[in-house]
Amino acid sequence: MKFFVDSADVDAIAELNDTGLVDGVTTNPSLIMKSGRDIIEVTKEICDMVDGPVSAEVVAMEADAMLAEGRKLAEIADNICIKLPLTLEGLKACKVLSSEGFKTNVTLCFSANQALLAAKAGATYISPFIGRLDDINIDGMDLIGDIRTIYDNYDFDTQILAASIRSANHMKDAALIGADVATAPPNVIKAMANHVLTDKGLEGFMKDWAKTGQKIL
Ligand code: G3P
């Protein structure tokens, strides 16, 4: 499973990118607002830093305007992935941009039917929102499973990008159910490395090592 960082915070992305474990970045209008930065400037900085795709979202509501915004965002860098909302207008724009060879990410997906339409529109990624479904007592992970089955039934190339990930458990469950990618906030990705028994074990090893009086270097 590929890991994308769901953030427009350049410092937080850089810290994780340094681990070599980051495959891409996703942003959205709320994350741009949170960064307090200009969308073009901050997105360019992220694109220069990260090798993989960086999703930048259009904000127009109609297909023609989405196309214009998407093409402008794509000028930022070669690794831009144009993010479009899962509406009929967004799908229409997705079909055109995907046919022109742009990478596309169809976002705000909450049903398997929506995901089926995004695949037919040629989306590179479909972004089902796990956490927001959980918020209304619908199991978000069931949706990932349904999309996996449908995409496998028809050999769709669209990659399932599990989004609205809120916990390390979400990451594990997305991996178990077969998501191609998961995008998560930096704190969630970092939390995946934590285990109380790792900390306890390391403390024990360090205490015993100190008693040996040895050095490796
Ligand atoms: O990738 C979409 C994500 O940013 C939404 O997350 O936590 O606002 O539902 P959340």
Dist. CA 101–CA 159, nearest whole Å: 16
Q: Is 83 a catalytic residue?
A: yes
- Helices and strands per DSSP (H, E), number in the chain: 11, 8
In the reported structure, the alpha carbon of residue 70 is separated from the centroid of ligand 1 by a whole-number distance in angstroms of 20
Q: Please count the other Cβ atoms lying within 10 Å of the Cβ belonging to residue 106.
A: 31
In the reported structure, the alpha carbon of residue 216 is separated from the centroid of ligand 1 by a whole-number distance in angstroms of 45
Catalytic-labelled residue, pool 2, 83, 95, 207: 83
Q: Which atom of ligand 1 is nearest to the CA of 183?
A: 1
Is residue 56 within 8 A of residue 27, CB to CB? The reply is yes
Q: pLDDT truncated to tens, each residue of the chain (217 aa)?
A: 999 999 999 999 999 999 999 999 999 999 999 999 999 999 999 999 999 999 999 999 999 999 999 999 999 999 999 999 999 999 999 999 999 999 999 999 999 999 999 999 999 999 999 999 999 999 999 999 999 999 999 999 999 999 999 999 999 999 999 999 999 999 999 999 999 999 999 999 999 999 999 999 9
Label residue 197 exposed, middle or buried (CB < 10 Å: 0-12, 13-18, 19+).
Answer: exposed
Is residue 86 within 8 A of residue 125, CB to CB? The reply is no
CB 27 near ligand 1, within 6 Å: no
Dist. CA 112–CA 95, nearest whole Å: 18
The owner of tokens 């904000």 is: 59
What is the pTM assigned to this prediction? 0.97
